[in-house]
Chains A and B, each alone.
Chain A
Amino acid sequence: MKRQVPLVLCFVFGIAMIFTRFSPHSVSQWIYEEVISWVLIIGPFALVLATVTLIQTHTTRIRRRTEHWQYSLVVFAGLTIMVVIGIRFGPQNSIFEWLYNNVQLPMDATMFSLLAFFIASAAYRAFRARTFEASLLLITAVVVMMGNVPMGDFIWNSIMSWSPWADKVSEARQWILDNPNLSARRGIILGVSLGVISQSIRIILGIERSYLGGGD
């Protein structure tokens, strides 16, 4: 019974959602909007449980004095301050907004900016010309980079001024992006789309049930 009920619900709602895709009638659109609303309603309940696990995790870290446990105190301080101000004064409160704009956003931006360095280190490993494929990747990457960066044209034209490929780097970059790159991407997208449909059919029909936990 514990398994049958979710499987039946999954089948019924799966079919209903497919039906709404093909039916413009107001009833089917109402069903669609209603189901989406239910998902939104479940969210806050799950968030309470999630917050409890967050508190449990960091309490355990502090109690056991694990490595860098002091950061868990920062988590509690941040959580308490934002929750108290948010609930007491609302999200439009100037202190709440100040904390968001001057603490959370800069930290997010800092993490995002780290990406540039990670790209450099990953590119260094990927572009080491040890094999034919890696060499091909390196040459392609150089052309695309030259075509993208503001100084790329200047550098390319300075180096390649003697060759018939001078002034062609932007065209070459565009060709690479429009042809081999786009073809590969479309191939992946086609595969992903078929995979999604196949996975959805398996879930709707109850053939794929491992997400419920365990086998049968």
Chain B
Amino acid sequence: MLKTTQWIVVTLVLCLSVGTAFSQGLAPPSSVTAMDTPNDDGSSITIKWDAAAEGSGISGYQILRQIAGGDLEEIGELLPAGTTTYVDSAIEKGTAYTYIVRAVGETEATVDSEQTPLVEGTGEWFHTGKIPLLIAMLLFSAAILWNIYDARSGKDIFVRRIPGLEAVDEAIGRATEMGRSILYSLGLGGVSGVATIASMTILGQVARRTADYETPLRVPCRDPIVLNVVREMVKTAYLEEGRPDVYNEDDIFFVTSSQFAYAAGVEGMMLREKPAAIFLQGTFYAESLILAETGNSVGAIQIAGTDSEHQLPFFIAACDYTLIGEELYAASAYLSREPMLLGSLRGQDWGKFLIFAAIILGVALELSGTGWITTFLQRVS
């Protein structure tokens, strides 16, 4: 009995010695911290530790997690040796966790770090990484608001000539004289698209004039919501001009939601009805040139406008006038000449000036070897 006991003790001591010998080369991961991941909705915890020294014999790390009062569990895959950060995204909000980083040696020996204090994932109300973006937005908004406020005093605001918008009256007049209709396409954008809303404001101005001149205005729509909004606003425009009798609801109609079927439908209308004036305003994709070229072939005066920079060359090549990018958004102010809207245009120009100044300053600083403005602007974007 004594011999057996001695044998067991010796075996245990031997095993312990071998285990210790294997793990002697492995240092436990140091400076292990677990913290709530910043700028997220509280759905993750970030664990960090110091990189192991070269030749430490560590082949990887395994993260172990424990809920207060629960068992330790391995999470995720074995991380490569150079890793120093792990984001645990599989947590439950409102539950506290503690972590251990286990270093795994080349001989599969392991050594654990100290257990981190309990930590809980909490969502932040403000993303601190977006402070530069907020500053830029506030600066630009302030410039616009100041100019709107300033415009209310009745100061005369200069707005450069935009030929595409100057030609609106010409196009409507031409259609009226020729006794033909006007075709207005709002493109493929949905009602939430800013370009579509800008297009609607132009349509509102066009509708007021067509109401006065009794010129048929045809509006084929691709989006059902846009259709309903447009019907309502054109109807109001006719009512306000005192010509509800001229308004024809059937002239504003749904074609289809399919891109090329819409293009085919509008193209067919152009060829059959031969409108004297065509407005292509809003968001367009590959169908832009199909529509613009067909409009050109029927001899209509065409005024296009889009913020899709890839489609602009097509419109410039095929249309008589093109509103380039921001000009589309300036249309409402330009056509209505309302001081507050014009003020916002001047604010927009201030924004451009700020960007221009930042570009010049950035180039000058980069050339002189200072890169802080580049870093700042990268954070803004």
Contact = CB atoms under 8 A, between A and B. Distances in A.
B366 to A, nearest CB: 17
A49 B230 CA distance: 13
B270 interface: no
A211 B200 contact: yes
Given A195-B348, A210-B200, A215 B240 contact: yes
A170 interface: no
Nearest to A57: B253
A194 B355 CA distance: 10
A207 B352 contact: no
A178 B24 CA distance: 57
Contacts of A56: 250, 253
Interface string A193-205: 0111111111100
Contacts of B292: 122
Nearest to B229: A211
A213 B237 contact: yes
B106 interface: no
A1 interface: no
A54 B233 contact: no
Main secondary structure of the interface of A (DSSP, over half): helix
Main secondary structure of the interface of B (DSSP, over half): helix
Interface string A172-202: 0000000000000100111110111111111
Given A107-B261, A194-B140, A198-B345, A47 B224 contact: yes
B148 interface: yes
A106 to B, nearest CB: 11
Contacts of A191: 324-326, 352
B86 interface: no
Interface string A23-47: 1111111000000000100110011
Contacts of B355: 190, 194
Interface in B225-258: 225, 227-229, 232-237, 239-240, 250, 252-256, 258
Given A122-B289, A122-B318, A188-B324, A207 B141 contact: no
Interface string A61-95: 00000111001000000000000000000000000
Interface stretch (B9-17, B55-63, B76-84, B327-335): B327-335
A22 B254 contact: no
A25 B272 CA distance: 55
A130 interface: no
A114 interface: yes
B80 to A, nearest CB: 29
A198 B329 contact: yes
A198 B289 contact: no
B286 A115 contact: yes
B317 A126 contact: yes
A115 B289 contact: yes
Nearest to B294: A118
B275 interface: no
Nearest to B255: A54
A192 B325 contact: yes
A202 B290 contact: no
B120 interface: no
B143 to A, nearest CB: 9
B228 A49 contact: yes
B201 A210 contact: yes
Contacts of B52: none
Given A22-B134, A26-B123, A213-B232, A50 B221 contact: yes
B298 interface: no
A132 interface: no
B130 A22 contact: yes
A23 B127 contact: yes
A115 to B, nearest CB: 6
Interface in A91-139: 104, 107-108, 111-112, 114-115, 118-119, 121-123, 125-126
A16 B272 CA distance: 46
Given A118-B290, A198-B329, A201-B145, 16 more contacts: A22-B134, A24-B41, A24-B123, A25-B42, A26-B43, A46-B223, A54-B256, A111-B287, A115-B286, A188-B309, A192-B309, A196-B307, A197-B141, A198-B344, A213-B204, A214-B204
Interface of B: 39-43, 93, 123-127, 130, 133-134, 137, 140-141, 144-145, 148, 192, 194, 197-198, 200-201, 204-205, 208, 221, 223-225, 227-229, 232-237, 239-240, 250, 252-256, 258-261, 263-264, 268, 272, 286-287, 289-290, 292-293, 307, 309, 312, 314, 316-318, 324-326, 328-330, 332, 336, 340-341, 344-345, 347-348, 351-352, 355
7 contacts: A22-B130, A46-B223, A108-B258, A118-B289, A122-B292, A192-B329, A210-B200
Closest 5 CB pairs of A and B: A213-B236, A195-B329, A213-B233, A50-B224, A195-B326
